[in-house]
Chain A
Amino acid sequence: MIDATETLRRELVDLLPRLRRFGRTVTRHREDADDLVQISIERALTRAGQWQVGTRLDSWMFRIMQNAWIDELRARARHGQTFVAEEEGEHVGVSTTDTQIDAIAVRKAVAQLGDDHRSVVGLVLVEGLPYKEAADVLGIPIGTLTSRLARAREALQAILSTEGAVP
């Protein structure tokens, strides 16, 4: 007999790599990302009854992460840590092929975006959520989502073209 919480745990195990990836996009920092994933798992399991088996777990988890991250940003602001440096020289992988150089440039470009834009980019462009799902995760109207996404894309194109990265 498997209860809903156990089902949730199983699905969370499979989802962990994507949660960590979204965390990385949002926080720009490896350890912060894992801290964020950890507390979001704890929050999710505390309110396991709110998740309905069969609905999108990724969206539900991204929403919890997004809210937890906003809490963290507010806490940092209260403590005067308004600026949190992005992690320097983060390389996933060791060789330096063109693809990996481009990947580093792209990740750095994303890190230069504002918090609102990073969330949208993470949800739609990296995690591949439909606009409607992404808007629900962020609790914003779909029109706000698409205009943020358009601005974030322009900003990314601008950053990447001035840095002369691989087109």
Chain B
Amino acid sequence: MTLISDELLMAYADGELDAATRSEVERAIAADASLAERARKQAGLRQRLQAAFQPVLADPVPERLLQAVATAPPSNKVLDMASARAAREGRVARPSAPGWAAWGGMAASVLLGVLIGKVLPDASQEATAFEIAGGQLVARGAIEQGLSTQLASAPVAGATVAVQLSFVDKAGRYCRTFSTATVAGLACRDGAHWTLQNSAPVEGAAVGAMRQAASALPAAILAAVDQRLAGAPLNAVAEEAALRAGWRR
């Protein structure tokens, strides 16, 4: 029998051996308890490492990385970690930071189903979607419910309203964008209500049987977000916390 080295056992544990060598190693292991123990250690370490780093996969992906995938490269400038860090810490505005308008184009393709839920709208609800209260248009019905209960980070399949972005505006209120099959808008939380700040018809809204909420927000809504956004949009964790707090700050 050939001498089985640690390196060979390691390759065995990592699935790197061809079939012939593998069965040779297996025969040797079966015949030698101490060899079996060494093989078990090699395989065990691999399993422990995989288990140790597995939870990282479930960690919610931060908004800025989704944004980078969706919008980069905004210029030919290649950034280094120092500028990424500076941007994150808010010391320097990143010269290449894309405007929110960039979300419009990419939303339709890249992040479909990641950020934006598909919905089957019920047109009859739009007639009673808003009512006037205190001189403001206040969301009612499905839109109010969508704004209050949906997470942009966890789109609800089959809901009648899609919510795309949540953020804190310059006045310190939570604001969110939403869309149905025919209309998109920006609403901000005032007390116990969602007041409509902007709305725009969805381009090319189909009149027909199966209609989905707009996957791309109209430019007017994106511009309104750009104007009001105080910092970065809420990430999944912050958004969930805001929802739990009833959108009160």
Q: Which A residues are closer than 8 A to B by beta carbons?
A: 2, 6, 9-10, 12-13, 16-18, 20-21, 24-25, 31-32, 34-39, 41-43, 45-46, 68, 71-72, 75, 92-93, 99, 102-104, 106-107, 110, 121, 124-126, 128, 130-131, 146-147, 149-150, 153, 156-157, 160, 167
By a CB distance below 8 angstroms, the chain B residues around A21 are: 53, 56-57
- What are 24 A-to-B residue pairs whose CB atoms are below 8 Å? A6-B109, A9-B69, A10-B110, A13-B69, A13-B110, A16-B66, A17-B58, A18-B57, A21-B53, A39-B79, A39-B81, A42-B78, A45-B72, A45-B73, A75-B80, A92-B56, A102-B52, A103-B53, A103-B54, A126-B50, A128-B50, A149-B10, A153-B10, A167-B44
Chain A's closest residue to B67 (CB) is A38
Identify the stretch in B23-31, B82-90, B212-220 within 8 Å (CB) of chain A at 4 or more residues. Answer: B82-90
Interface of B is mostly: helix
Chain B 43-67: CB-based contact to A (< 8 A → 1; otherwise 0): 0111011111111111101101110
Chain A's closest residue to B49 (CB) is A125
CA distance A160 to B59 in the complex (A): 25
Q: Which B residues are closer than 8 A to A by beta carbons?
A: 6-7, 10-11, 14-16, 41-42, 44-46, 48-59, 61-62, 64-66, 68-70, 72-73, 76, 78-85, 88, 106, 109-111, 114
By a CB distance below 8 angstroms, the chain B residues around A68 are: 80-81
Chain B's closest residue to A124 (CB) is B14
- Assuming A9-B106, A124-B14, A157-B45, is B62 touching A34 (CB within 8 A)? yes
CA distance A42 to B211 in the complex (A): 35
Scoring B80, B84, B110 by chain A CB atoms within 10 A of each residue's CB, the highest score goes to B84
By a CB distance below 8 angstroms, the chain A residues around B44 are: 167
Minimum CB–CB distance for A73 against chain B, Å: 10
Minimum CB–CB distance for A50 against chain B, Å: 13
CA distance A41 to B85 in the complex (A): 15
- Assuming A72-B81, A99-B51, A103-B55, is B111 touching A13 (CB within 8 A)? yes
By a CB distance below 8 angstroms, the chain A residues around B70 are: 9
By a CB distance below 8 angstroms, the chain A residues around B49 are: 106, 110, 121, 125-126, 156
The answer to whether B57 touches A17 (Cβ under 8 A) is: yes
Minimum CB–CB distance for A37 against chain B, Å: 6
The answer to whether B42 touches A20 (Cβ under 8 A) is: no
By a CB distance below 8 angstroms, the chain A residues around B11 are: 131, 146
Minimum CB–CB distance for A40 against chain B, Å: 9
The answer to whether B7 touches A146 (Cβ under 8 A) is: yes
- Which residue from B7, B61, B84, B114 sits with its C-beta under 8 Å from A20? B61
Minimum CB–CB distance for A127 against chain B, Å: 9
The answer to whether A24 touches B56 (Cβ under 8 A) is: yes
- Which residue from B6, B14, B57, B80 sits with its C-beta under 8 Å from A39? B80
Chain B's closest residue to A23 (CB) is B56
- Assuming A13-B110, A21-B57, A75-B82, is B45 touching A41 (CB within 8 A)? no
By a CB distance below 8 angstroms, the chain A residues around B42 are: 153
CA distance A71 to B88 in the complex (A): 19
- Assuming A21-B53, A32-B81, A107-B52, is B45 touching A156 (CB within 8 A)? yes
The answer to whether B53 touches A42 (Cβ under 8 A) is: no
